[in-house]
Amino acid sequence: MNHRIIRYEPEFRERVAALHAEAFGLDPSESCSYLAWKYEENPYLQEPLLFLALNDAEVVVGMRGFYGTRWNVDGSSLCIPCADDFVILHRERNLGLATTLMQDALAKVRALGFRYVLNSSGSPITVLQQLAMGWRSLGAMEPVERLTWRGRLHRALADHLTRVPGAHRLAHRFGPDVSACLARLERSAGRAESHRAGITLGVEPRADVMAELAADCRDDQRVSHVRGPEFFRWRFRNPTREYRYLYLERAGVLHGYLIVTTYRQFAYRGLPCSIADLVGRSDRDRTDLIETVLSWGDFSAIGAWSAAFSPDDRESLEHAGFVPSELQARARGMPCILLKTLNSERTPGAGLDKLSWDVRFIDSMHG
Amino acid sequence: MHEELIAEIEDWRPALQGLVHRQMPLISSGNLDSLGLMRLLVWIELKLGRPIRVTDVDLIRDWDTVDAIVRFIECEYASR
């Protein structure tokens, strides 16, 4: 069967949403709003970088997206499209379409003048395929998790149900109630006596002051995602997630923030809650934020990517009961961030894969 | 081990039945798609008895042909 690779046009919106919804177990309307947020409202790319595979009957049988990201590199900023939402319709798999779609999409991205592409949330199978196409790992993200007895019980039940024929669709019902996690966090934060060290909980990002703090705390020796106000205004409108923000203030000045994220529709295989980002002016500030969010949320299961954290922050997590997770993936060097150089000419930022990268959970679509 | 791997690959990709040989490009040619690559990784890990830190492997250099894959496994054995 012949396939044609084209760039996304709005006329394909419903068909793309249907393909995405089927692949990721979402409602088509959820997929539609998610894709619109990610590709059409992205602050770093004017036009959606989304490529579609059509078969002879003009049916959308595959998609490969690149959403915009912007990184601080050597004192300037660089827009790098980040690959995501790779879908091949089940009946079209293992026919070489995956490779064709990826190669064609990359050629089109390169023709638009982009020098690099990233992938920060590929499944093991996607990571493998991309390594085979010359992508390089920028480092493993070293996931950690903290489970209470309730979290372990939920996981054991869900794992058991996934092995029972016909029962796997029920497994999510035995997962932790994520709305209860957030409600607990809000109740605890609302109690005056539980306030610690000037920490408060917010339901909206304070884009301007968060951007100022992130700029003050940035390590210029490492490549890091630009955290300007436009990042905070866009990033947390992800319609598939909910976010809560712990703010640490002294004398009216923001000294730190910690962001917790949950799925709106919890996928029982993953962790219901994660620390999406942590920024603070001092080790003590960040430790206070970690201790506070765990105390207030009393999460049955919460995770984080520890690779970008400072040694002190990692020690705080370990002290709080976080342990290495996703052990099989870790042993394979995953989850990881992948970079592909599209244009090897000597240009500013060349050799990005040799630099040290500070990649947070929120910099990927896991967050 | 070469013949065993060739039989596995033909099992993963029935369209390649009778076509796979020791120097045939598997990855650079697109003959092994994403699912085939995953199966190959699992097969190599089973042979070695341990997981592979695949992000450190140059797949085109080390896994593109049956000969290269068997050589890779032998080198990994030798380095243990």
Residue A344 has pLDDT above 70, yes or no: no
Residue A74 has pLDDT above 70, yes or no: yes
At A118, the pLDDT band (50, 70, 90 cuts) reads very high
Q: Tell me which of B10, B27, B34, B56 to substitute to probe the interface with A (most A C-beta atoms closer than 10 Å).
A: B34
Residue A117 has pLDDT above 80, yes or no: yes
ipTM for the predicted complex comes to: 0.89
At A107, the pLDDT band (50, 70, 90 cuts) reads very high
Greater pLDDT, A267 or A362: A362
Residue A63 has pLDDT above 70, yes or no: yes
Model pLDDT, residue A266: 59
Model pLDDT, residue A167: 65
Q: Which of B33, B55, B60 sits opposite A333 (nearest CB)?
A: B55
d(CA A29, CA A265): 13
CA A124 to chain B, closest CA, distance in angstroms equals 8
Residues 6+ apart with CB under 8 A from A363: A69, A120, A225
Model pLDDT, residue A352: 86
- What mean pLDDT is predicted for residues A179-195? 80
At A222, the pLDDT band (50, 70, 90 cuts) reads very high
Fold for domain B2-78? 1.10.1200
Model pLDDT, residue B2: 92
Q: What are phi and psi of A249, to 5 degrees?
A: -125, 145
Model pLDDT, residue A203: 95
Q: What are phi and psi of A223, to 5 degrees?
A: -75, 125
Greater pLDDT, A194 or A179: A179
Residues of chain B with pLDDT under 70: none
Q: Is B65 on the interface with A (CB under 8 A)?
A: no
Q: Tell me which of A94, A120, A326, A337 to substitute to probe the interface with B (most B C-beta atoms closer than 10 Å).
A: A94
Q: Is B7 on the interface with A (CB under 8 A)?
A: no
* Chain A: residue whose CA lies nearest to B62: A132
Output the pTM of the full model. 0.89
Chain B neighbors of A333, CB-CB under 8 A: 53-56
A132/B37 touch (CB, cutoff 8 Å), yes or no: yes
At A249, the pLDDT band (50, 70, 90 cuts) reads very high
A131/B59 touch (CB, cutoff 8 Å), yes or no: yes
Structure token digits, residue A332? 């394979």
β-strand partners of A225: A71
The domain spans of chain B are 2-78
Q: Which of B34, B36, B51 sits opposite A331 (nearest CB)?
A: B51
CA B67 to chain A, closest CA, distance in angstroms equals 17
d(CA B2, CA A317): 47
Residue A294 has pLDDT above 70, yes or no: yes
**Tens digit of each residue's pLDDT (9 = 90 or more) over A296-331:** 999 989 999 999 999 999 999 999 999 999 999 999
Residue A195 has pLDDT above 90, yes or no: no
Residue A242 has pLDDT above 80, yes or no: yes
Q: Among A111-125, A337-351, B16-30, whose mean pLDDT is lowest?
A: A337-351
Q: Tell me which of B55, B58, B60, B61 to substitute to probe the interface with A (most A C-beta atoms closer than 10 Å).
A: B55
Greater pLDDT, A97 or A170: A97
DSSP string, B43-73: HHHHHHTS---GGGS-HHHHSSSHHHHHHHH
Residue A15 has pLDDT above 90, yes or no: yes
Structure token digits, residue A25? 């177990």
B38/A125 touch (CB, cutoff 8 Å), yes or no: yes
Give the Cβ contact number of residue A43 at 10 Å.
15
Greater pLDDT, A35 or A348: A35
Model pLDDT, residue A83: 95
At A39, the pLDDT band (50, 70, 90 cuts) reads very high
Model pLDDT, residue B73: 95
Residue A88 has pLDDT above 80, yes or no: yes
- Identify the CA nearest to A46 among candidates A122, A117, A108, A112: A112
- Work out the mean pLDDT of chain A and round it to a whole number: 89
